[in-house]
Amino acid sequence: MKFNAKDLALLARRPSGYFDKEGKLKICRVVGDEKLIEPRERWCRLKGNLLFLMKNKSSEVSEVVILERCWVVEFRSKTDVSIVLKFQSGEPDLYLEAASKPDCESWAVALGEANSEGLQNKIQQLRRLIMEIKEERSSDEARQFLPSSQVDSLGEPQFTSIQRIANEPKLEFSLACKDLVAATRDRKLNTFIQVSVVHPAEHILTRYSSTEIVEGTRDPLFLTGVTFPPEYPIYEETKIKLTVYDVKDKSQDTVRTSVLPDHKEPRADVGRSFLGCTTFRVGDLVKSKEQQLTLTLRTSDGGKTVGTIEVNLVKMGELEDGETDHITTDAQDQKCALVRECTATEGISGKDNLPSLNAVLKNPICKLYRFPTSDNKWMRIREQMAETTLSFHVPKELINLHIKEDMRRNQELKDLGELAPHWDNMRKSVIAHCDQMLSMYQDTLAELGKHTGSSFKSSCSKGEKTLEFIPINLHLQRMHVHSPRLKDALYDVITVGAPAAHFQGFKNGGLRKLLSKFEAERRNTGYQCIYYSPENTAKAKEVLSNINHLQPLISSHADLLLNSASQHSPDSLKNSLKMLSEKTELFVHAFKDQLVRSALLALYTARPGCVLKKPAVPRNSAEEGGDVQHQDHPSHIKRQDSIPHHSEYDEEEWDRVWANVGKSLNCVIAMVDRLLEKDNVSNSKEGEKDPSAADCKVLHAGGDWYEQLYPLVITLKDCMGEVVTRAKQSMAFVLLQELACGLPQCLMLTLRRDIVFSQALAGLVCGFIIKLHTGLHDQGFLQQLHTVGLLVQYEGLLSTYSEEAGMLEDMAVGISDLQKVMFKVIEAKSEDFLPIITGRREHYVIEVQLPAKMFELLPQEIKEGKLLRMYPVLFNVGINEQQTLAERFGDTTLQENINQENLELLKEYYKLFTEKMPPDCLPHFQEQNDLKGLLENLHQNIQAKKRKNVEIMWLAATICRKLNGVRFTCCKSAKDRTSMSVTLEQCSILRDEHQLHKDFFIRALDCMRRGQIVHDAESGFSPKGGGGSPPTVPVAARSKYLRKAPTQQQEVCNDHKLVVSIFPSLTTAFISEPGKHVCRTI
């Protein structure tokens, strides 16, 4: 650029009032962080985009800096008084140092606004301000003409609500532009529309949403619609402003637009330019005959016309007829159209299940697409993603159970009685550690009770200690397909981050490795404590659980027996005796185990001064529990005291103690039989003589029944109490050995396992409830549910390298532990439909509550409370760049072993299914013979040990769907890999099951994945939040939950050529060159 030196010198000598700013600054040039020379004081004068540098105020100008294509870097520390001017041309930076902080800040503002871009920003802001003032004036003028019926007693206007269907959005419309005018003739426009709302009460302009960017056309058809959720305060009087922008750099603008706050306008320096805007009333759109408005776009001053906008009202259920040829336009991106976006939760089975579903689902985000089929007809696809309240509900319920279980265990350890010093010190150490762990559980539960806000845990919170029991990004991903010639179908996938203990880390591996190592170390600690196998410790916990469950039941039935005797009710007496006999037999059977006897002996040896005595004649415990019906009175039973501490101990004493329970029960049975027999004889004789005398006899006999049964029942309770005391102490001693052999590792492993299991269980409960609601009208599925059980298939996308290998080990153990979970469906007695969790660590029962109308649809077996089994299987295939390293330089044995083990479990389920279910029980898939071939193909692919064999994932998912199973997809955080896998699976289903046109497969995939990255979800948007702005992204892309800064998003695409390669046999891999942005939200 050429300048006239004389004119510049003359300009620099103008009077002080002529300049925008002037003053003293210390200046030097900077390269990197190094100053070329020491800063020198100069008199600086700023005029427009020219900065004059002079030695002093009266001297000649020594240098002129042109402030174009540069930006100001201001240092934010309180003491720093310097700024730096950086130039895009690459010339050395200009360092400027002021005398004070206020002076520095004023110079930074002046220099930042000095260039031509800053001037353009000012002009645009003034134009927008003028337009808003005009709109406010027109609104104020219109208000005085409102009818008096619309003004309440306070003088505030009342607005007209929009009629709508329950649980449906208030308003939805699609947008398209025509005949847009570009700044230059040869330029092709890349446009998007910014949607803002002018609320009639406040007269404030609020940014609401925006469309995607459509490239290369002056007639853009926008794929993204606009929707207002049911709770949004929108009325017929509401105005909506549509502003059209032209974008120069699409990738940068997509990112920068999405992170702008609602109250700020985009800056001009992001590579966009304003084209035009228009405004319309909602009432005009709703009441228009064709439900369409054609609006004129004008420049900011309201003078020049730059094109038109078509606004089309969209209503759910109005399906288009005709061929699909008319959707083709000049732009490639417009070959598949998004029809609408909504926030309603709805299933095929109707709206009766909405109350119970709304109890577990929250903040649903829906989008509807239309794609052509192979016969050129339209199919509609509604895609929905929803959070679930179970993300926090299930872990809190589970932690509460852990606290109660651990408190009982600690009390049982304290009730062991007197022990030798070695064992007593061991017990004190164990109890101290257990109390610390119990306190940690209580603190975690208290912190979770304080949690408010989001109903899911984002990936950036996976390392937080207070949230370590909560699953990461647990969501329902649902696709509802409506085809013109096929039956509607639902496809559900639960997406969740891999269940793993992220806070504890993976330095030493995951649970699979840690448990194996711990068990090996326990075997070598026999000199300190007694080793019991994991099977024996599990048996001990089961015995304790049976005791705690059966003892109160037996006591209750014994009281009912006495009550029936006092009322002289033969029928009630028989029923009470039957229940008492059944529960007592279960009680006695629970102790027919060598573990109890050996544990009692071990406990006795741990007492101070123990002496063992070998029995002279060994007796069979079965003989002790033989037929004793000829013993008429409990006085013949020899009572035993508790385990002796300082006397000889008989090893067979335990057999006699628990056999006394059976003998006592036999005495009760014999007495009841005798009483009933005498009563029958007496009633027949007395009834023949005198009825009134018979009545008196009944009253007298009632007292005799109670008096004769009472001592027998008390003896039964005493014998049972003695057995309970001994069994509890012996089993608590076994648990003491388990804990003492591995302190503190044992408790830390229990904690880690509880954390992983909590995350896995939350997802399982969510998946079961969704599947149950979906299949309520499918009798074949309901029969399969109570006859065979439910298949739960997890698709893992973790690598076997570095930390993700530890995550995979955690995940494998957590999913395997789900086998000990049983479900029971009950009728809800209130409006609270959240599931109820009972049980202990080795056995949990989840009670799912259904409303009365839905409960009546269930088979009788399920309504009677039959427990429903789960069959979880996990198949993992690493697909990212870390898996490449693992396959070339590491070890993939972990993945191979997991896949092989779970293949056997899947075969076991299939065998059980074929044995118990009829062949026509799955109406949606006619060719069930293919299942055997699919299983064989899956077996071959697992045995092949092929690198990144994603065919395993596709085969496992297909088998799961054909067997009415629940599908899960997991990666590290349920974001990038998960979203790519889910969208590809959905499009593959559309192609294989619903005849998606082959030429539209990639376009449909792009349409589902494409979208704008909305602002960080921490901005607090909720579909029920009133004035918040709803996300405008593809559901499966999950960009609402990505929680990444734009630069991090770009790094995902820049670091590696292979972004992701999933199912290469189905579609091409998604490749990007280094340094180029991939304009897809993943």
**Can you tell me which residue has the tokens 């497969």?**
1001
203 Cα distance to chain centroid: 39
| pLDDT above 70: residue 588 | yes
For residue 15, how many C-alpha atoms fall within 13 Å in the half-sphere facing its CB?
A: 2
The pLDDT assigned to 650 comes to 60
- Residue 696's identity, in one-letter code, is C
- Mean pLDDT for the chain? 77
Rounded to 10 deg, the angle between the 976-994 and 951-962 helix axes is 60
3-state secondary structure of 571: helix
Distances (CA, A) of 101 to 39, 75, 77, 80: 17, 10, 10, 7
Largest CA distance in the chain: 145
**Hey, what are 267's tokens?**
């800056």
Name the DSSP letter for residue 800: S
The pLDDT assigned to 3 comes to 62
Q: What is the pLDDT of residues 58-114, one digit of tens each?
A: 888 888 988 888 888 876 566 778 888 888 777 888 888 998 888 888 888 888 888
| Confidence bin at 322 (pLDDT 50/70/90) | very low
Q: Select the more confidently predicted residue: 577 or 1028.
A: 577
**Hey, what are 89's tokens?**
């041309």
**Can you tell me which residue has the tokens 């194996």?**
516
- Residue 305's identity, in one-letter code, is T
Which of 655-669, 716-730, 1054-1068 bottoms out in mean pLDDT, i.e. has the lowest?
1054-1068
Q: Alpha helix locations (H) across 590-690?
A: 594-605, 621-624, 653-689
Contacts of residue 324, Cβ cutoff 8 Å, sequence gap at least 6: 372, 376, 377, 378
The pLDDT assigned to 359 comes to 82
Contacts of residue 38, Cβ cutoff 8 Å, sequence gap at least 6: 28
pTM over 0.75: no
Rounded to 10 deg, the angle between the 570-589 and 653-689 helix axes is 170
Q: What is the pLDDT of residues 752-799, one digit of tens each?
A: 999 999 999 999 999 999 999 999 999 989 999 999 999 999 999 999
The pLDDT assigned to 7 comes to 81
Closest CA to 654 of 673, 637, 641: 641
| pLDDT above 80: residue 927 | no
| Confidence bin at 164 (pLDDT 50/70/90) | low
Are 477 and 418 within 8 A, CB to CB?
Answer: no
Are 702 and 566 within 8 A, CB to CB?
Answer: yes
Q: Select the more confidently predicted residue: 930 or 756.
A: 756
**Which helix H or strand E contains 556, and what residues bound it?**
helix 534-566
User: What phi and psi values does residue 515 have, to the nearest 5 degrees?
Assistant: -65, -40
* CA dist., res. 1079 & res. 252, Å (int): 9
* Residues of the chain above pLDDT 70, percent: 74
Which of 137-151, 295-309, 312-326, 601-615 bottoms out in mean pLDDT, i.e. has the lowest?
137-151
Closest CA to 952 of 964, 963, 961, 943: 943
| pLDDT above 90: residue 437 | yes
143-152, 283-292, 318-327, 393-402 — most confident range: 393-402
Closest CA to 348 of 983, 765, 777: 777
* CA dist., res. 1072 & res. 625, Å (int): 77
Closest CA to 475 of 967, 54, 114: 967
Q: What is the pLDDT of residues 464-511, one digit of tens each?
A: 999 999 999 999 999 888 787 778 888 999 999 999 999 999 999 999
Are 369 and 1007 within 8 A, CB to CB?
Answer: yes
Contacts of residue 334, Cβ cutoff 8 Å, sequence gap at least 6: 214, 217, 220, 221, 223, 327, 328
**Which helix H or strand E contains 497, and what residues bound it?**
strand 489-497
* CA dist., res. 610 & res. 647, Å (int): 7
The pLDDT assigned to 584 comes to 85
Please write down the HEC assignment for all residues of 888-947. Answer: HHCCCHHHHHHHHHHHHHHHHHHHHHHHHCCCCCCCCCCCCCHHHHHHHHHHHHHHHCCC
| Confidence bin at 1000 (pLDDT 50/70/90) | confident
- Sort strands 40-47 and 21-31 into parallel, antiparallel or unpaired: antiparallel
The pLDDT assigned to 383 comes to 81
Please state whether 90 falls in left (phi above 0), alpha (psi between -120 and 50) or beta: left
User: What phi and psi values does residue 671 have, to the nearest 5 degrees?
Assistant: -65, -45
Are 392 and 470 within 8 A, CB to CB?
Answer: yes
* CA dist., res. 178 & res. 308, Å (int): 5
* CA dist., res. 878 & res. 478, Å (int): 24
Q: Select the more confidently predicted residue: 660 or 133.
A: 660
Q: What is the pLDDT of residues 803-820, one digit of tens each?
A: 999 999 999 999 999 999
Bridge partners, residue 839, by sequence: 844
The pLDDT assigned to 1071 comes to 27
- Sort strands 790-796 and 868-876 into parallel, antiparallel or unpaired: parallel
User: What phi and psi values does residue 293 have, to the nearest 5 degrees?
Assistant: -125, 140
Please write down the HEC assignment for all residues of 983-1040. Answer: HHHHHHHHHHHHCECHHHHHHHHHHHHCCCCCCCHHHCCCCCCCCCCCCCCCCCCCHH
Point out the residues that are catalytic: 971
Interval 290-294 mean pLDDT: 90
* CA dist., res. 540 & res. 109, Å (int): 75
The pLDDT assigned to 445 comes to 95
The pLDDT assigned to 932 comes to 87
Are 479 and 989 within 8 A, CB to CB?
Answer: yes
Distances (CA, A) of 877 to 363, 388, 798, 1062, 1070: 31, 27, 7, 10, 18
* CA dist., res. 458 & res. 472, Å (int): 6
3-state secondary structure of 1082: coil
Closest CA to 541 of 738, 394, 756: 738
| Confidence bin at 751 (pLDDT 50/70/90) | very high
User: What is the torsional sign of CA 144, 147, 152, 158?
Assistant: negative
As a residue count, the chain comes to 1082
User: What phi and psi values does residue 903 have, to the nearest 5 degrees?
Assistant: -60, -40
The pLDDT assigned to 163 comes to 62
- Sort strands 190-198 and 205-210 into parallel, antiparallel or unpaired: antiparallel
**Can you tell me which residue has the tokens 């009670």?**
847
The pLDDT assigned to 912 comes to 93
Residue 317 burial (C-beta neighbours within 10 Å; 0-12, 13-18, 19+): exposed
| Confidence bin at 941 (pLDDT 50/70/90) | very high
**Hey, what are 534's tokens?**
């994991």
Interval 961-990 mean pLDDT: 92
The pLDDT assigned to 440 comes to 95
Q: Select the more confidently predicted residue: 131 or 292.
A: 292
Contacts of residue 856, Cβ cutoff 8 Å, sequence gap at least 6: none
Interval 1058-1067 mean pLDDT: 34
The pLDDT assigned to 113 comes to 80
* CB neighbourhood size of 601 (10 A): 18
| pLDDT above 50: residue 118 | yes
The pLDDT assigned to 134 comes to 58
* CB neighbourhood size of 3 (10 A): 11
Interval 715-730 mean pLDDT: 88
Q: Select the more confidently predicted residue: 667 or 609.
A: 667
**Can you tell me which residue has the tokens 């608590």?**
732
